[in-house]
Amino acid sequence: MKILLIGANGEIGKILQPALAKNHEIISAGRTSGNFRIDLSDSNSIEKLFEEIKNIDACICVAGDCYTGDLLSLDEKKLNIGIENKLLGQINLVLIGQKYLNDNGSFTLTSGKMADKPVKNNISKAIVNGGINSFVLAASLELERGIRINAISPAKVSDIPIQDLINAYNKSVEGIINGEIIKVNY
Ligand SMILES: NC(=O)c1ccc[n+]([C@@H]2O[C@H](COP(=O)([O-])OP(=O)(O)OC[C@H]3O[C@@H](n4cnc5c(N)ncnc54)[C@H](OP(=O)(O)O)[C@@H]3O)[C@@H](O)[C@H]2O)c1
């Protein structure tokens, strides 16, 4: 498969890229690194990327920042970091990318444990991750041409056996599941 991996240079991306490259062609993308540049907070940048790369079978997103801090320190501006980059960024990736992906292709987004089991100082991640999961559940009902969508919701990556993380992304990309939130290690 031809796989677009957004955030390939991040902690998760660096684990996934070599693992997926054993069986697939990987096109890496990131804000400042990779084969192609993309800023998920900018719809034009997303559209440009899909115009440039043709015939993508699977789009995996392991990118997006969120503010970390307590409730008292949180304000609209800080909340918007995660909303614009991680939540709307991944949603826009699907809204735009659905027009370009090959028939029977797939989107695999990344949310995180804080959606279900938040700990203090992670309100922004809780909201953003929950939104991603809800989007995946709803969008999976409507994507056309056999295109599937799932979310991987990992616990802290340094606490996860690497193979469990790889298996979760593989299950979404190579399997037949649609509309699933795969919780890894919690
Ligand atoms: N690491 C964990 O323990 C963990 C656990 C659960 C969920 N998650 C989630 O998984 C995702 C990836 O985590 P990570 O730890 O691998 O992140 P990371 O190490 O911070 O790397 C993020 C990657 O995303 C890219 N990126 C950031 N903002 C972007 C934007 N606006 N547009 C395009 N690319 C952007 C960066 O690209 P450049 O390097 O090219 O600038 C970077 O390669 C995040 O959404 C995170 O919340 C992580």
**If you classify domain 2-184 with CATH, what class do you get?**
alpha beta
Q: How far is CA 170 from CA 27, 32, 44, 177, in A?
A: 16, 25, 29, 11
Mutate to test the pocket of ligand 1, among 35, 110, 129 (most ligand atoms within 8 A of CB): 110
- Pocket (CB within 6 angstroms of ligand 1): 6-7, 9-13, 30-34, 38-41, 62-66, 85-86, 89, 110, 112, 154, 156-157
Tens-digit pLDDT profile for residues 114-135: 999 999 999 999 999 999 999 9
CA 17 / ligand 1 centre spacing (Å): 14
Tens-digit pLDDT profile for residues 50-95: 999 999 999 999 999 899 999 999 999 999 999 999 999 999 999 9
Q: Any idea which residue has 């193979």 for tokens?
A: 163
Contact 150, 182 (CB under 8 A): yes
Q: How far is CA 6 from CA 19, 33, 79, 121, 123, in A?
A: 15, 10, 22, 26, 24
pLDDT, position 19: 98
Tens-digit pLDDT profile for residues 89-104: 999 999 999 999 999 9
Q: At what angle do helices 88-97 and 123-139 cross, to 10 degrees?
A: 20
Residue nearest (by alpha carbon) to ligand 1 atom 45: 64
Q: State how far the Cα of 85 lies from the Cα of 21, in Å rounded to an integer.
A: 26
CA 104 / ligand 1 centre spacing (Å): 26
